[in-house]
Every structure is written in structure tokens, then in C-alpha cells.
Amino acid sequence: MSTAGGPDDWRRLDRGTVLVTAAVMAGLACGAGVPALLALAGSMPWWQAFGWVAAGALVLIAGGAGADWLRWRRTRYRIGPERAELHTGLLLVKRRSLARERIRTVDLTAHPLLRILGLVKVRIGTGEHTGGGESTLELDPVSRAEGERLRQELLARRTVGVPEAEREGTLATLDPRWIRYAPVSFVAPLLGGAAVGAVMQVSQWFGVQTQLIDWVGERVRDTPLLWTVAVLAALALVAGVVGALGLWVEMWFGYRLEREPAGTLRVRRGLFTSRSLSIEERRLRGVELVEPLGVRLCGAARVDAVATGLVKDGEDKNADHRTLLPPAPSPVADDVVALVLREPVPPTSAPLTAHPRAARSRRLRWALAASLAPVLVLVVLGLCLTDVLVYAAAACAAVAVPAAVLLALDAYRSLGHALDGDYLVARSGTVRRGTVALRRDGVIGWTLKQSWFQRRAGVLTLTATTAAGDGAYPVYDAGEHEILDFAARAVPGLLESFLERPGEPGGHRA
């Protein structure tokens, strides 16, 4: 591709976009046309109802394809030596450009229709959060070869000082056995609830929701209520597990993590919708080892990148956008962390400094308050309305209080922080435990928070501010004096001017 940036270097999107849009609109027309046909057939002959629906479908398909043809005619782009430019729009013309030196991501995505036609959608981004999408250019679609060429050209960086053999290669590939972690994620119950809602919604579209509810009611009429609830919950859970397995296959099929010669980490994955996500290593500030409760109980973890320049607009807030490794056995996750950071030992496995017992007491109080609050509400309602609610409160307390206490103790055991070479390591959480290894030179500020209750307990929360990842990584409820020394040692010179040393007025405080 020429990169001279002259007037003749403008390129168009692939004309196959019109065919893709026509196919999508045809699918929408079929989805909306079937319920409409059933509704119209009750008040007119079938052939007449079909004619009206077919006419509406043709108008919808032609309108969508025509609008996309105009978009194709009015959209052009070029890659110059200094800037990537995109001009589009009919009545409202948009002219946008990105400086090439600020481009951080070039991600390729292709849903099944695009894959069939050999096309991809290209998102070029700087990773800056502007609120209006001005930090990204989207080419939807271009040919697969053109998308790959754009990715290689725009992410090309000179890397010096590192032998070629140490820069590139495959770091991790998919092991089909990892699918066993899909059912224990939080996605399974959510998909189960979504399946129940979808059945009810579809039955409403076809006007049979009342009959469906009556049919279910007849089947469980003579069944005890608790047994009925348990059976329905089990069916929803099974549906959620099946959905989670299917979603895992679609998302992670063909997964491969590679280090490319240009100093870029590339993740490729996807069964029906293929995805290619790239992260420049020079923008990497660390990693986070994520262990949701169910996955952690199975001895597995996920690895996320902590990097600057990742897309942050509304379309790409999904967590898997920065995931380097899906839930996998903990030894595999540790190996990937070490390979990604080029460290002999993963910093996330460093011994951590335990937090004072005051942190445990605080978590136990929170857990008891959260578990007993609904119990007290049920008791009050039971005394006012019916004794059944009092029994329900007792059952709720018997289950919720021990579970809350166990989670609180686990949350305390998960707390910890350490310095390991060039990295600051912090861990917290129980339902979602996260261990972040953040480069010390990536910390740009500290935030100290100490409530009245924390002050009485002698603990405080220290938050490391960075331009990468979530932007802030806290160390919760650490010992007041110890954590201030920790911050001063982690990034010398950043906090000392705000500290009063022992012997000075006020003691050792921030």
C-alpha cells in the first residue's frame, strides 16, 4: 500500500458491505415477518397476509441496502506517513484523522457473514477516552488481506536491544479441556435467567404465553411448592450451563496468544465471529490475575492485560477485550504471566504482606450486617402479617449468615501486597479475587483514603493511580504506618513530601 498521503491514495471500503447489509436486513425481516404474518392471518386470507408481509420485507431490505450503498459511496480512507484519515457522511460529512504515532490498537473482527465473504471490520484506536468515539476510526468492512496489511503497517514499531528469537513466538494456545471452567463462571446463572425470559418473550410474541403458563401450572399443580421451585431452578441452571458452554466455544475457539516481531502481543480467537486483538508491549504496564470464586475453587485463573492505549469507548467495555488468557489452570496462568512480562518468575506469585486483624473485623461486620438486614425485614413483616415470614427469616439466617462469614474470612485471607522487583503487587476480593502486578514506573500518583472507622482501627486504603487498565488499583485496609512506607519504597520521591516522619509534629501520617 502506498503511504505517500497524496490525493490519489484514497481508498474505498469493500463493496461487499451492501450484500452483507441486505442479508442482515433479510434476517430481520424474517424475524419480524413471522409474528406479523400470524397476527394478520387471523383477520384476512393467508395469501393476502403473506403479500403484505413480503412487500414490507422487500421495502425493508431495499431501504437498508440502499442506505448502505450510499454510505459506501460516501466513505473513503487513506493511510499517510503522518495520519490515518476517514471521510464519511452524506448530509452530515465527517472528516476524522488520527496521528499515526498515537495509534495503539488495530483490531480485526468478522462475524459469520463477513467471514463468508472474506471481509473484516477494522477498528483503529488511540485508546484515549474522548466520550464521542473521536479516538477511533472504524473501517466496516474491508477485505481480510487489506485489514491484515493495515494492522501490520499501523502497529509496526522498531524494537531494539532484544534478539529476534526472544521477541516473537506462540505464548499460549487453546486446550479444549479448559471448557470445564465455563459452567462455574457467573455467566451460567445469568444465561439461565435469560433463557427463561426468552421463552416467555417468544410465547408472548406468538400469543401463547397464557397457555404456556397454564400448561406449566397443570404439570405442577399437585407438586409441593418447594419441589416445584427447585425443579424450575434446576432446569434454568441446566439451560445456563449449556449456554455458557456454547458461549465459551464461540468466544475462545482457535485461541492463540502470540508475540510478534514488531513488539506486539496478539490474541486471536472466535468460532463464528473471529477476533484479532493487538496490544503493544511498550504500552504494557503489568497484568492482572483474575480468579472468580467458582473458577478459583477449581484451581484456575484468567489473565488480563494492564496496558495503556486499549479501546475505552462504550462499544468495547466488555472485559474480554483485554483478556490475554481465558480461565485456565493456575500453573498455566502463572506461565503466561511470566512470558508476557518477560520475567523468570511471575510477580503475581510473590509472597504477600498480610493485613492487620482490624481488616478482618471490618469484613466480618460488613458481612453480618449485609446478611442480617433482610432477616430483620422478614421478621418485622412476619410479626405484622404472617408467621410464615418469621420461619422464612429463620431459614434465611441459617443459610445467609454462615455463608457471609465464610466469604468475609476468605476476603481477609485474600488481602495482601508486596514489592517484587519492578512490580507492585496487590490482591483483594473474594467473589472476584484479583491479583495485579503493576510496574512501579507506571504509577503516576497515590490516593490515600481513611474513614473515621478506619482511623479508629489504624488502617487505610492506598490506591495506585496509573494511566493503564482500570486507572486505579487499591490496597484495602492495610496497616497505616506499614503501607505508607510501602508506597514510599514503591515509587521513591512521589509520596515523601506529604509524609511527616516520627519525631515531627503529628507523627507518621499522610
Q: Evaluate if residue 164 carries a pLDDT over 90.
A: no
pLDDT of residue 199: 67
Q: Which of 188-192, 265-269, 320-324 shows the lowest mean pLDDT across its residues?
A: 188-192
H helix runs in 109-158, sequence order:
112-116, 144-154
d(CA 326, CA 309): 21
pLDDT of residue 203: 65
DSSP classification of residue 226: H
Question: Which residues have a Cβ under 8 Å from the Cβ of 492 and sit 6 or more positions away?
Answer: none
d(CA 215, CA 243): 25
d(CA 370, CA 282): 44
129-147 burial code (b ≥16 CB/10 A, e <16): eeeeeebbbbbbbbebebb
Q: Evaluate if residue 144 carries a pLDDT over 90.
A: yes
pLDDT of residue 325: 95
List the chain domain ranges: 1-96, 103-174+253-349, 187-250, 357-413, 415-498
pLDDT of residue 397: 87
Contact between 119 and 16 (Cβ < 8 Å):
yes
Q: Which carries the bigger pLDDT value, residue 140 or residue 224? A: 140
pLDDT of residue 315: 45
Residue 509 banded pLDDT, cuts 50, 70, 90: very low
pLDDT of residue 165: 46
Contact between 130 and 293 (Cβ < 8 Å):
no
pLDDT of 228-254, one tens digit each? 677 777 777 888 888 889 989 999 999
pLDDT of 179-209, one tens digit each? 999 988 877 767 666 666 766 666 666 566 6
Residue 4 banded pLDDT, cuts 50, 70, 90: very low
pLDDT of 118-140, one tens digit each? 999 999 887 665 555 567 889 98
Top-tier CATH class for 415-498 = mainly beta
Contact between 395 and 456 (Cβ < 8 Å):
no
d(CA 468, CA 288): 12
d(CA 45, CA 226): 48
Q: Evaluate if residue 265 carries a pLDDT over 70.
A: yes
pLDDT of residue 163: 47
Q: Evaluate if residue 178 carries a pLDDT over 80.
A: yes
d(CA 170, CA 172): 6
State the angle between helix axes of 46-73 and 16-41 in degrees (0 to 180), rounded to the nearest 10.
160
Q: Which carries the bigger pLDDT value, residue 154 or residue 158? A: 154
What average pLDDT does the structure give for the chain? 83
Q: 29 — alpha (psi -120 to 50), left (phi > 0) or beta?
A: alpha
Spatial strand order of the sheet with 432-439 comes to: 323-329, 300-307, 284-292, 432-439, 423-428, 416-420
In angstroms, how far is CA 15 from the centroid of its own chain? 32
Question: Which residues have a Cβ under 8 Å from the Cβ of 300 and sit 6 or more positions away?
Answer: 178, 181, 291, 327, 328, 329, 330, 333
Q: Provide the 10 A C-beta neighbour count for residue 213.
A: 12
For the chain, give the percent of residues with pLDDT over 70: 81
Inter-CA distances, 72 with 60, 69, 121, 129, Å: 18, 5, 14, 27
Q: Which of 47-56, 136-145, 435-444 shows the lowest mean pLDDT across its residues?
A: 47-56
Q: Which carries the bigger pLDDT value, residue 415 or residue 312? A: 415
Residue 103 banded pLDDT, cuts 50, 70, 90: confident
Q: Evaluate if residue 162 carries a pLDDT over 60.
A: no
d(CA 307, CA 356): 31
pLDDT of residue 204: 63
Look up the pTM and report it: 0.81
d(CA 381, CA 390): 8
Inter-CA distances, 436 with 58, 228, 332, Å: 54, 44, 17
Sequential DSSP letters for 348-413: GGS--BPPPHHHHHHHHHHHHHHHHHHHHHHHHHHHHT-HHHHHHHHHHHHHHHHHHHHHHHHHHH
- Residue given cell 427463561 in the structure block: 196
d(CA 126, CA 323): 18
Contact between 131 and 109 (Cβ < 8 Å):
no
